């Protein structure tokens, strides 16, 4: 029986009660697991995951590992392996979760649950990129792993979830560039700031960071007296994000110097503006 999307969520209540009774659920000392079937040990592992105690994933791992050890050729050993990956992830042991998920993929590449294992592997990277200031290497690894889910299992529910997380991780990279760019801008290092905002506009144009990046380009170019570039950045911002408060800010900055948001010159922003008008960008 395949685990599918409900890999860790369902336990037959009657079987579980019988299993717990057999395992001496209320006693201080648990009987040797060798005395029980693969199904009974596996069910106990599921029970530990469902109880909700923070330490339960660790206890569940012991049962799933024992299923593999005692009944290595059973169907429950196969299911226990992917449940190890799930339990490791739930316990926030991300490297161990990746290792278990990869072992499952290596051992059972054609399984119905291969998509789930691939998704768990990707999730173990994604759930570590919770702060903009963290090492961006994890974000790149998350993107690569999420893309693998999307491309290899395009019709699965996991692909849809992976696509959403891919967009968020991509936005995360753009947010990091913005954070550094704002730092340089505040310090008056305008060229360095422009380089960061340019990366967002050119490489991360589909993210939520693009409107602010364009507004900051207006600000930085005006500070350098480069009005053509500032006006062009404002024009792109107005063309694509006219309802954004960032456009309102950029427009006010330009008007204050008697300028309008319009394409000027032949710089990199002017090239992008022409692409926008032709519908080749955004």
pLDDT digits over 141-187, tens only?
999 999 999 999 999 989 999 999 999 999 999 999 999 999 999 99
Angle at 46 between CA 41 and CA 48, to 5 degrees: 95
Mean pLDDT computed over 262-269: 92
pLDDT of residue 57: 78
Of 100-104, 125-129, 212-216, 257-261, the one with minimum mean pLDDT is 125-129
Q: Is 31 exposed, middle or buried (0-12, 13-18, 19+ CB in 10 A)?
A: exposed
The answer to whether the beta carbons of residues 67 and 42 sit under 8 Å apart is: yes
Two structure tokens written together for 240:
């694509």
Q: Residue 122's pLDDT is what?
A: 96
pLDDT digits (tens, 9 = 90+) for 6-30: 443 343 433 443 444 444 444 456 6
Alpha helix ranges (H) inside 29-156: 38-51, 56-70, 75-90, 94-107, 114-126, 136-152
> In this predicted model, what pLDDT tens digit does every residue of 21-70 receive, in sequence order?
444 444 456 668 777 889 998 998 888 888 765 567 778 888 999 998 99
Instruction: Write the secondary structure of 98-120 as one string of H (helix), E (strand) and C (coil).
Output: HHHHHHHHHHCCCCCCHHHHHHH
Res. 130: pLDDT tops 90: no
Interior/surface letters 146-167, b for 16+ CB within 10 angstroms, e for the rest: beebbeebeebebbebbeebbe
Residue 204, classed as helix, strand or coil, is: coil
- Read off the DSSP letter of residue 207: S
Question: Averaged over 97-108, what is the pLDDT?
Answer: 95
Distance in angstroms (rounded) separating the CA atoms of residues 235 and 123: 39
pLDDT digits over 204-241, tens only? 999 999 999 999 999 999 999 999 999 999 999 999 99
Mutual angle of helices 56-70 and 38-51, in 10-degree steps: 170
Question: What's the helix, strand, coil split of the chain in %, to 5?
Answer: 70, 0, 30
Can you tell me the distance from the alpha carbon of 93 to that of 111, in angstroms, rounded to the nearest whole number? Answer: 24
Closest CA to 238 of 259, 265, 267: 259
The token pair that represents 78 in the structure block: 């196969």
Q: Is 246 a residue whose pLDDT tops 90? A: yes
| Mean pLDDT over the full length of the chain | 85
Q: What is the pLDDT of residue 113?
A: 92
CA 221/CA 92 separation, integer angstroms: 45
DSSP one-letter code for 31: P
């Amino acid at each position: 029986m395949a685990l599918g999307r409900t890999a860790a969520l369902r336990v037959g209540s009657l079987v579980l009660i019988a299993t717990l009774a057999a395992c001496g659920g209320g006693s201080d000392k648990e009987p040797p697991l060798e005395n029980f079937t693969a199904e009974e040990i596996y069910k106990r592992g599921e029970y530990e995951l469902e109880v909700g105690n923070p330490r339960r994933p660790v206890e569940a791992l012991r049962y799933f590992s024992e299923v593999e050890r005692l009944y290595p050729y059973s169907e429950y050993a196969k299911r226990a392996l992917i449940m190890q990956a799930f339990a490791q992830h739930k316990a926030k042991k991300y490297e161990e979760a990746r290792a278990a998920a990869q072992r499952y993929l290596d051992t059972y590449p054609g399984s119905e649950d291969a998509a789930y294992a691939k998704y768990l592997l990707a999730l173990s990277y994604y759930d570590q990129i919770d702060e903009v200031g963290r090492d961006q290497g994890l974000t790149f690894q998350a993107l690569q792993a999420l893309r693998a889910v999307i491309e290899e299992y395009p019709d699965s529910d996991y692909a849809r979830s992976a696509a959403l997380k891919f967009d968020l991780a991509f936005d995360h990279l753009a947010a990091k560039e913005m954070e550094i760019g704002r730092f340089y801008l505040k310090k008056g290092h305008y060229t360095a700031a422009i380089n960061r905002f340019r990366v967002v506009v050119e490489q991360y144009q589909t993210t939520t960071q693009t409107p602010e990046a364009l507004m900051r380009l207006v600000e930085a170019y005006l500070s350098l007296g480069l009005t053509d570039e500032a006006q062009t950045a404002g024009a792109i911002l107005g063309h694509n994000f006219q309802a954004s408060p960032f456009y309102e800010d950029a427009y006010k900055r330009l008007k204050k110097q008697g300028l309008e948001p319009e394409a000027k010159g032949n710089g990199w922003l002017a090239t992008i503006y022409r692409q926008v008008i032709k519908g080749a960008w955004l």
